[in-house]
Amino acid sequence: MNRDGFVYPLAIGVTFILTVLSATLLMRGVSELNISSRQVYSSAAFHYADAAVDQAAKNLRTPTDTTDDVMTTTYGNGSFTVDSMTALATPGEWQVLTSGVSAADPNTPRHIEAIYRMTPQSVFQFALFGANNVTVSGSAITDSYDSRLGPYEDDPGLGYNKDHHGDIGTNSTSSGGVTISGSIFIDGQVAVGPTVTDPTSIVTGYDASFITGGTSPASNTQDVVSMSQAFPMPPVVVPLGLTCSNHTVTGHTTETLSPTGGPLGNGTYCYNNLTVQGGGELTTSGPVTVYLTGVFTATGNTVVGDPSDPKAMTVLVSSTGAATLEGTITGSSEFYGALYGPSAIMTISGNADVYGSIVAQTVNVTGSASVHYDTALTENTTISNTSRATMVAWREL
């Protein structure tokens, strides 16, 4: 009896100890599970906050246009928010504050601060760009060259300077956004509006044999592409104090614009209607910017711009009313420069030659006109529609 009396309480004691140990281990396991879960949730919140930093960089790509900014995004297991984007005292630098949260632990967000340096990019990224539409017909051609290497030259025996970046673009997502016909030749790529499933459906008259896709040998798989987002078209505003008047360069005369000339003495000029008559030449002795508020016409053996440096002349077409502007470069005229008119209709016809870039609302190229895109214009940021974001600092708050 004494032995049985001893074993029974011993068993109860051992059972109690094991129960306590089991409960302790269970509680520890639950605690460690909770800690692990919190770590997982916290890690997810951090990654969401970091994703918001990337989103802020996309937003800052067009800092003057906030209509396409995404400030918050919610997913099934969390969300991120771009809390603020603030311009700093250092020109071109922005402070970005973001936060991220896991849906499983919404009361424990994580926060990140990043500093971006924005570098303006040139609006002149295409040989021809028409926000609404581009029409190329007849025997017109596009290709490219680099004026930093010398003049355009398509003869290998004479210092070949020709490439396959004669790109054409439009923001249109409707059939006819780009129309091509005749025996045209596009030595480059055609880019249409964003998120189009079948980009070739936007190109009326599409013929793969007339488009190189920007490659040599030509690749039909790259002929026509859909841009990831619409190409921004910022407005042109004539600077305060810059007076504008009609101006004509008479036939067989030469006028030279100076980088220290113009009403403001800084190489900036403004004309309502600008006409260059047959045999006339309007050139530059350095970088100048010409604002236009009316019609630009160059006809019959005229030369506009600097043949040795198309970057030197930038023509910005501004609309001061509701009317659509029209501009024409016709005949055997030569244009060396960059022309931008977000509300303008530009027509290039006859056997005119363009060495540079034309960006407008609507672009029409007919006859045997040639457009040679100057890749050096990527350095021209007289007007910029996008910026490149470079992160210069980052920390978690």
Do 281 and 293 sit in the same domain of this protein? yes
Do 375 and 392 sit in the same domain of this protein? no
Give the range of the structural domain holding residue 6, as residue numbers without chain letter: 2-121+387-396
Can you give the length of the chain in residues? 397
Do residues 360 and 340 touch, judged by C-beta distance below 8 A? yes
Do residues 121 and 387 touch, judged by C-beta distance below 8 A? yes
Do 158 and 59 sit in the same domain of this protein? no
Predicted pLDDT at 186? 95
Q: How far is CA 396 from the centre of its chain?
A: 30
Q: What is the pLDDT along the chain (397 residues), one digit of tens a residue?
A: 455 556 666 666 666 666 665 666 656 655 555 656 678 888 899 999 999 999 999 999 887 677 778 999 998 899 999 999 999 999 999 999 999 999 988 888 999 999 999 999 999 999 999 999 999 999 999 999 999 999 999 998 888 999 999 999 999 999 999 999 999 999 999 999 999 999 999 999 999 999 999 988 887 788 999 998 899 999 999 999 999 999 999 999 999 999 999 999 999 999 999 999 989 999 999 999 999 998 888 888 899 999 999 999 999 998 754 444 456 667 688 999 999 999 999 989 888 899 999 999 999 998 889 999 999 999 999 999 999 999 999 999 9
Predicted pLDDT at 10? 60
Do 102 and 130 sit in the same domain of this protein? no
Do 169 and 90 sit in the same domain of this protein? no
Do 240 and 114 sit in the same domain of this protein? no
Number of domains forming the structure of the chain:
2
Predicted pLDDT at 221? 80
Predicted pLDDT at 158? 86
Do 130 and 116 sit in the same domain of this protein? no
Given the DSSP bridges, would you call strands 105-122 and 384-396 parallel, antiparallel or unpaired?
Answer: antiparallel
Do 316 and 227 sit in the same domain of this protein? yes
Predicted pLDDT at 322? 41
Predicted pLDDT at 39? 84
Do 255 and 279 sit in the same domain of this protein? yes
Do 317 and 177 sit in the same domain of this protein? yes
Predicted pLDDT at 266? 96
Do residues 291 and 316 touch, judged by C-beta distance below 8 A? yes
Do residues 371 and 346 touch, judged by C-beta distance below 8 A? no
Beta bridge mates, 161: 153
Predicted pLDDT at 110? 94
CB-based contacts of 317, cutoff 8 Å, min separation 6: 236, 291, 292, 293, 296, 325, 327, 339, 340, 341, 342, 343, 344, 360
Predicted pLDDT at 156? 87
Do 94 and 232 sit in the same domain of this protein? no
Do 359 and 296 sit in the same domain of this protein? yes
